[in-house]
Homo-oligomer: A and B are copies of this chain.
């Protein structure tokens, strides 16, 4: 029975899991579970994940939630996964663990809080909140200042978190991430190592960006389709 991924490509942890499978030749069935449509609250999905969050997986009868736990599991349960993703050596693996844990309360908290309060909130029927955004921006900037390369599932989780910033206005994104040259270099390296899957799985985000941009600037110039791809290839 094929591995089932319950995911929304609009969610960065969902994308990390999809990309991991694609990079490692793990066959899967993608079960789209859209957060904007609140599909994660359905009784059918609650059977899969009582926590009502994506991503979640079913591997045969085995059900699992939380993207980091899923990445660890996939790295261990499928054959032939290169050791750098989740090293067998205790000391190297533990270093990966600490970055995965750090991600939750730092980079993810900052990036998710900032994008939600500057762009995504209206899609959930909530107002944008500049004061909250300012708070999360501080967390985000402090987190970006700490990032260093980690050739592992932590790497993948962090890259997907930073890719989520693509949904911001160019100006905001440049202001936030531009000064972190080491992060830009690291993202570029990760992109090279993860193409074509990294780009393919993020297409939904670039489309959503256009949509949100149009909604906010209903009159005037929205970013033309043709300018999207070069932006993506530029140093973030």
Q: Chain A interface (Cβ within 8 Å of chain B)?
A: 50-51, 62, 64-70, 72-73, 76-77, 90-91, 94-95, 97-98, 100-102, 104-106, 108, 146
User: What chain B residues lie within 8 Å of A68 (beta carbons)?
Assistant: 97, 101
Other-chain residue from B69, B100, B102 in contact with A98 (beta carbon distance below 8 A): B69
Stoichiometry (number of copies): 2
User: What chain B residues lie within 8 Å of A108 (beta carbons)?
Assistant: 105
Q: How far is the CA of A63 from the CA of B101 in the complex (A)?
A: 15
Other-chain residue from B62, B69, B73, B98 in contact with A66 (beta carbon distance below 8 A): B98
User: What chain B residues lie within 8 Å of A91 (beta carbons)?
Assistant: 62
CB closest chain-B residue, reference A95 = B64
User: What chain B residues lie within 8 Å of A51 (beta carbons)?
Assistant: 102, 106, 146
Q: Give chain B nearest CB distance to A147 CB in angstroms.
A: 11
User: What chain B residues lie within 8 Å of A72 (beta carbons)?
Assistant: 94, 97
Interface hub of A94, A100, A146 (most chain B Cβ within 10 A)? A94
Is the CB–CB distance between B94 and A73 below 8 Å? yes
Q: How far is the CA of A70 from the CA of B3 in the complex (A)?
A: 31
Other-chain residue from B69, B101, B104, B146 in contact with A50 (beta carbon distance below 8 A): B146
Q: Give chain B nearest CB distance to A5 CB in angstroms.
A: 15
Q: List 29 A-B contacts (CB under 8 A).
A: A50-B146, A51-B102, A51-B106, A51-B146, A64-B98, A65-B98, A65-B102, A66-B98, A66-B101, A66-B102, A67-B101, A68-B97, A68-B101, A69-B94, A69-B97, A69-B100, A69-B101, A70-B98, A72-B94, A72-B97, A73-B90, A73-B94, A73-B97, A76-B90, A76-B94, A77-B90, A104-B104, A104-B105, A105-B108
